[in-house]
Structure 1
Amino acid sequence: MQTNMFKRLKRTTRTALGFACLLIGIVFILLPGPAVIFIPLGLALLSLEYDWAKVWLKKSQKYFRQAAVKADQALHWFGKKLRN
């Protein structure tokens, strides 16, 4: 009985922390802050318990990876323009 209660407490804690991080990340989209850190963190915590969160975590990772590549290309282009 104790292990069952521990499992439920663990699941509830993960879910609460996951939704809290996700909510903070969404707020940081509107306000200045590290949304790039909190959204994947929240989705990673939620993905331990829910399949839908795994799907969204993979989508967000793909999106952030593409954004990082575009930012890197833009900085490279900008650096070349400054040198010329």
Structure 2
Amino acid sequence: MKALRLTFGALLLVSGIILTLLPGSILLVISGLVLLSYDWPRARGWLKISQKSMAYGAKKLDRFMLMRKLKKF
């Protein structure tokens, strides 16, 4: 089970990185890191870093959209 989880997690991570460079989704990277974080502590750290950066980006985008909406009035 561990080998299957590591293989599938690595496959998701690599395909997510490739699709992030092309127009794609970062969700594959996150799901790959989640699967890898069960067995690798370093993947847990990468997962925390990516979650923090995604939360920061979402807050920044929300702030930008709110300011844009308020300027119209």
TM-score normalised by length of structure 2: 0.92
The one-letter code sitting in structure 2 at the alignment partner of 1:17 is F
More helix by share: 1
Tell me how far 1:30 sits from its aligned partner: 1.3
Tell me how far 1:39 sits from its aligned partner: 1.1
1:58 is aligned to 2:48: yes
Tell me how far 1:42 sits from its aligned partner: 0.5
Q: Residue 32 of structure 2: which of 38, 42, 53 is its match?
A: 42
Q: Which moved more, 1:26-35 or 1:65-74?
A: 26-35
Where does structure 2 lack aligned partners over 5 or more consecutive residues?
A: none
Q: Which has the larger radius of gyration?
A: 1
Residue 34 of structure 1 aligns to a residue in which SS?
coil
1:14 is aligned to 2:5: yes
Tell me how far 1:33 sits from its aligned partner: 1.1
Percent identity reads 34
Alignment RMSD:
0.9
Question: How many residue pairs are counted as aligned between the two chains?
Answer: 73
TM-score normalised by length of structure 1: 0.81
